[in-house]
Structure 1
Amino acid sequence: MSETGRGAPARSATADREVVISQVIEAPRELVFEAFTEVRHLSRWWGPEGFTTTTRSFEFRVGGEWDFVMHGPDGTDYQEWITWTQIVPPEGIVLLHGEYRGDPNAFESFLAFAPEGASTRVEMRTVFPTKELRDEAVEKYHAIEGGRQTLGNLAAYVTEIVRKGVEG
């Protein structure tokens, strides 16, 4: 950790606008990365517990877009839109996520896939445009718990693929 001149840890300029979630997944990094980048996988695990996803269009490339609807367990539909701004297989992805193209409240997510022995650590750092939007996402939309559940769903999904591969 970097230090300031007084010996206190340096604070990120965006810390009050961030949510950081990580999870170790018992699967190779390439498989975890693939599960995040191919629509046939994403529709199987994306979103918090109880949510399903319908993809309208998907193009995984820098500048490509994923237009989709998340269906909540209560029947509420959430229009979502993602564009990828950086892709470094299998190390990381940077994306912009909003409700629609040009959404002024869209947030940026930095996803890092780091090998940890035979497992992979996924770290998702999300930076919101303002502290208020971050606080709203956390308080109203339960972004931290939802992010943990989403990474948990990813872990369960790829762990099952690995288990079936070993058995089959």
Structure 2
Amino acid sequence: MINQKGQAFIFGIVAVGVVTISTLLTIAGAQVFYQNSSYSLEAEKATALAEAGIDKAVASLNSSAGSYSGEGLGTSGIPFGDGEFSIKISDKDSVTKIIEATGYLPNKPNPKVRRTVKIETSNGVGASFKYGIQVGEGGMELGQGNTITGSIYSNGSITAGNNNN
């Protein structure tokens, strides 16, 4: 047992080193998890922006009898929520249109995240209402004091009580 002075000191240094390395690895793992979570959230927001662009394009095509050609294709997009989106519409053939919407977060000139959604659409058969109620053959019966903004389509009768608008 000669010359064993400092053995506890070396053991202490090794233990502190192991604890320090474990702590740093835990912090680094948490940092990577946080960055991945933030990026995933932003990617979902950009996808939601692109889907909002698709919804706007379909609604605009319905209300303009198919003459809508898109918007937000310049240097800035259409602001919506936390970001912007742009809409590009092209013809596949005489009946089918291709709608491509891109969501940008935080904005189109300097996007941190960009997601694109592309669909094909064509004219359908049936009634289309901006606001409305569609009722089948059974018809519709309203009580008193109802308000309907828009159109009603019914294959049956519509019966309304008093004070209906």
Q: TM-score, normalised by structure 2?
A: 0.30
Structure showing greater Rg: 2
Q: Which has the higher contact order (CA 8 A, sep 6+)?
A: 1
